[in-house]
Amino acid sequence: MSGPRRQTLWRAALLHRLSGLGLAAFLPLHFLFLGESLAGEAALDSALAWTENPLVKAAEMGLVFLLTVHLLGGVRLLVLENFPWRDWQKTWASIAAGASLLVAFLFLFRVL
């Protein structure tokens, strides 16, 4: 791979877009789950029991990662649009990705 796709900030922009797509894919599932509360208490209790599954807990970690990446990617865009360009922004984009992973893992271990 050569050219602009090797640049850190290009990858940060791609990660921001992919995290937005991941969050958009999650929303229908979230609304479906919330709709269970309309079906009555037994249906909601059944859905809540399902969330104790370890795979669901791992998916929650992924969701927290996507939310954190998307938030930090949005902040990165605001900085790019409103402040002059600096070389250190590449470093901060890498730090933001690492911070997103850290937050996701801390959430996972707190939840388990």
39-91 confidence digits (pLDDT tens): 888 888 888 888 888 898 888 889 999 999 899 889 888 887 888 877 777 78
CATH number of the domain to which 53 belongs: 1.20.1300.10
The boundaries of the domain holding residue 72 are 3-111
- Among left, alpha and beta (phi > 0; psi -120 to 50; other), residue 83 is beta
Number of neighbouring beta carbons within 10 Å of residue 30 = 11
Q: How far apart are CA 93 and CA 73, in angstroms?
A: 8
Round the average pLDDT of the chain to a whole number and report it. Answer: 84
What is the number of structural domains in the chain? Answer: 1
